[in-house]
Structure formats: C-alpha cells, structure tokens
Structure 1
Amino acid sequence: MSPPTPRYASEVRQRFLDGLLFWEGRVNRRDLIDTFRVSQPQAALDLKAYLAALLPGQVIYDTRQRRYEASAAFRPVFGVPSIDTWLERSRLAGLAIEVLPTLDRPLDASLMAHLYRAIRDRKTVHVAYQTMRRASAEDRSITPTAFVSDGQRWHVRAYCHLREAYRDFVLSRIAFSADQVEAGVESAELPVDSEWCSWVTLRLAPAAHLEENQKRAVCWDYGIDGELFVTVRRALEFYAIRRWGLDRAESRLSIVERTESASNPGATA
C-alpha cells in the first residue's frame, strides 16, 4: 500500500483537533506532536489551517495555559465525531469505562462468503440446518437473497425449497460442505418476497401504565417529544418488537399505531 498523501495526512490531524476540541474542550500543538510524532513547525501549520476553518469566536486562546479552548459557540468543522473512538481513546488514557460483554454467536466468515456469492449469482445451495425443534440437522435446499442482523445474531434470508416459502436461517446453525455450496445450481424464477418488499411504520409512545413523570423520563431517554416513529421491513418487524421489548408487559414503550406501505416512507429519492 502506498503511504497517505500529505493532504490526507493533514486532514486526519485536523479531524483529530476537531474531535479533541469537541470532547476535551481544549487543544494545543503538543497534542499533535505527541499523537502523530510530527515536528513543531508541522504541528503549528496544522493547527493554523484548522483554526482558519473555524468561525470567529468559536475558540479562545488562553495565554496562561498556552492552549486554545472551545467557546460556547464552538461547532465541530467535520461534524459530531465518533463516540466510540473517543471512548476507546479515553479508556486507554485511564478513564473508568466499563461495557458489558455481548454473548456473540460465532460467525463463520467462510460460510458467509459462500452465501454471499450465492446471493450475487442467484444460486441455490444445499445446507444442513439445525432448528430448535428437531433432534438433528435437516437437509435443506435454499436460495439466499439477503443478510439480516437483529442486533444480536446474523441470519440469511432465503427461499426454502423444502417449505416453499421465504425463511430466515440463523448463520450459526448452518452446517455446510464447501463442495455442496460451490455446486449450487442457478435458481429458477423465485416468487416475490412480499414481506421483504413491504414496510411497516410503528408509532411508539411511552407505555400507558407509566406515571406522568415516568413518561417524561422515557421521552428524555429516547430524545422524543411524546412519540417515536420507526420504519422497518415487514420481514423484520418480529425481530424489532422482540429486540426492543415491545412484546413485554413491563415495556416502557408501546405501539400506538402500525401502518404498512409498499415502499420505505423514510427513503429519499
């Protein structure tokens, strides 16, 4: 790989300054020198170029501390920076940050690659699939059409030739032989996946069983003014309801209204 161009490297450093002012509220040349190992003259040039992109009054120079500090009018030049990047940087710097581990399902990259090629080439492949109901895996011929994540595990959406319908198959429950997958044959014309091609908009609001102060707290939690609209494919509605706990009696949000449409109402042309 070729080294980054000077212009790209300079932008990376300016984005760093932008993020530092946003999170820390202060910045100076030493931050660039320590992080990127650049010379003092180069750090001065980068800082000067970055400050020139700001509107007057967005930063104030503290002569005693010899640093620039963000004013109340500061707005990041490159937009709100990544929270994850800042959290990782702060964690390495010693800030107390703890994140509960996720119970991830194993994801077989080789299987995903084969299924991706089957989607791309519209191939029917042969797999063994372990359901929760059967004692042993069952042989299936499937024609994959899309990958889906419900936020906790990955599925492949496919037309199941055994059930003669579209199904979602959990990737970690699929056993396959590379020879069988590679030997997949071109699929015949598939029926329309109506659930995938239609959309559902859920109008959510604080649950009716909550007290007024609790409803207000829920609105603050989700940054809403009384209602929240979420649009998902109809095929994913079940996962959305389960993931967000909308099917539980103790849920803090409830579905006020559900509307279907043939296209995504939130999509832009």
Structure 2
Amino acid sequence: MVGWVRITSLMEMFSISRAQASKDFQGYQLLRPNNLRYNKSAKYYEISDGFMPLLLTGKTSELLSIFHTPHTPNPPVLSLTAYQPHASAINPLDREIDLTIFRLISNAAYNHRKVKILYQSLTQADSQERIISPHTLVYSGYRWHIRAYSEHHQAYRDFVLARIKNVPTLIDEVGIDDTNDTEWHTQVPIVIGPHPNLSDNHKTVIVDDYGMCDDQITVQMRGALVGYFLKLMHLEPSREHPDAKVQQIVVLNKDVVKHWVWGE
C-alpha cells in the first residue's frame, strides 16, 4: 500500500512479540526471497523492484477491497490500516436477516432437506406457506436470497431471506436437488460495451475503466442471476438512461440476454 512495513506493524496489529513478528518476516522471505529488502537507515522492510504477490493475486479489485475492509463491520480480513492511505467507502443499507432463519435455511440447503416457510412476497397481500428445497445461497449485491425448488410453483424460484416471516420448519424428507434447475446451470454470456452515442474519446475512457478488449467485455453469468447482475450494473431495460454520459455502458448482445430478463 505504502511501499514499506515495519516489524512493529505486525506486533501492534496482531498483539504478538517482536520475536514472533521477526519469525513471520523470515518465513515470508523464505517463500518470496526477492519481495522485500531491509532498509537499515529507515528501519523497515521495503518492496523490491522484483516484487511478486504471494498471499494476494495483485488484481486491482482485490487491493481496493483491502481499503474497503476497515469500513465494514466485523471485517473478515485484517489489514494494517495504520499503514495505508486514508480511504472512505459507501455501503448499501443492510437488509437484516434473522440468524435463526439463516441457520435453518442453510442447514436445509447443506443437508438437502425440505423446509416449510411462511413467505411474504410483494405480489401477495398476505404471507403464504411454502415448502421449498433450498440448494444455493445467493448474494445479489444488495441482499441475500435462497435458490430453491418450490412445491407450490412446481418450479425453481428465488426466496429473499428477509421476507421469511417465521422460524422455518425442517422436514425430514430429502429435498429436490438442483439437477433440473436449467436456469441455474445455463451460462449466459453478457457482452458489455461503451454507449454508442459517446464520443470516441469518452468511449476510450470507458474501455479503460472496465479493462475492455476490442471495445467490449464479456461476463459469464448463470441464467438465474442475469437479472440481478443487470440490476446491479444499472443495465435493466427499465433503468436505461437516455443520456449516454449517464448510462455509459450498454448490453451489446441483447438478442441473447433478453430471454433471461425480458422474458421473450
């Protein structure tokens, strides 16, 4: 992050002794002998010209997530926050989930069991009882849902965890697995490119922003998740903005993608 690190950094972050911190540095240097060199005058280890990531891949998204980590509650990854530039992050509002509900749904998914829930959808005035066979927990970028087979609908559906209104009842029956969930197992290529109405200079900016090749980038997405991805990227048909500078990117293969979003 800042190009150097001291033994005291590890001591302070992990509450370890100087001897242990020195041992950790020695272990790292055995694995990557050309990554760090000791600066005797400054009394710290600094990155060498031949640095090769060991614990990280070196991708920009991965490094930026470290800046984001201190701004999330109870972060799963520790970073030496005192030794990185100031950073600020904006997070979407949390959708609260009852941990008992989460535990039971997760249990059913892992153990391939059916579960009875009371579900409040936005298409029904009242909560409805449903028997489902969960197979995968999914985070859409804004909220968690469970992909499951619904006995009422005789089809695979998505159920938002925050909309389960009771403590689920585990049923001692083997659930229906994901074998026939065609939408889940179908990979859909989503080709994205700069908005065609942007000027050539502005298109170049967008190409660089997203690391596009030949003015486009392809994302492989499960059919069941295409709609969520487009919503996350503001690429839904209902959310497309007429101003190219606002919209910036568009779906280039709508003929392929429309089946999964437009229902055609």
TM above 0.5, yes or no, is yes
Asked if 2 retains the 8 angstrom alpha-carbon contact of 1:127 and 1:176, the reply is yes
Change (3 A) 1:157 1:74: closer
Please point out which of 6, 15, 18 is paired with 1:39. Answer: 18
Please point out which of 209, 212, 233 is paired with 2:222. Answer: 233
Please point out which of 139, 147, 165 is paired with 2:137. Answer: 147
After superposition, the C-alpha distances for 1:229-269 in whole angstroms (9 at most, x for unaligned) are 10111111111111111121343221222658xxxxxxxxx
Task: Output aligned runs, 1:103-114, within 5 Å.
Answer: 103-114=93-104
- The aligned residue for residue 194 of structure 2 is 206
| Structure 2 unmatched runs, 5+ | 71-78, 258-264
Structure 1: distance between partners of 2:9 and 2:108 = 49
Structure 2: distance between partners of 1:177 and 1:43 = 47
Please point out which of 29, 33, 51 is paired with 1:74. Answer: 51
Bigger Cα Rg: 1
Change (3 A) 1:30 1:208: same
Instruction: Provide the secondary structure at the position in 2 that maps to 1:182.
Output: strand
Mean Cα displacement is larger for which, 208-217 or 81-90? 81-90
- The aligned residue for residue 7 of structure 1 is none
Structure 2: distance between partners of 1:228 and 1:104 = 30
What do you get for the CA RMSD once the two structures are aligned?
A: 3.2
Runs of 4 or more consecutive aligned structure 1 residues displaced over 6 Å after TM superposition? 188-191
| Structure 1 unmatched runs, 5+ | 1-22, 261-269
- The aligned residue for residue 246 of structure 1 is 235
Is 2:2 the partner of 1:24? Answer: yes
Asked if 2 retains the 8 angstrom alpha-carbon contact of 1:126 and 1:184, the reply is no
Change (3 A) 1:63 1:218: same
Change (3 A) 1:204 1:110: same
Q: What residue identity is the alignment partner of 1:144?
A: P
Change (3 A) 1:79 1:134: closer
Change (3 A) 1:92 1:159: same
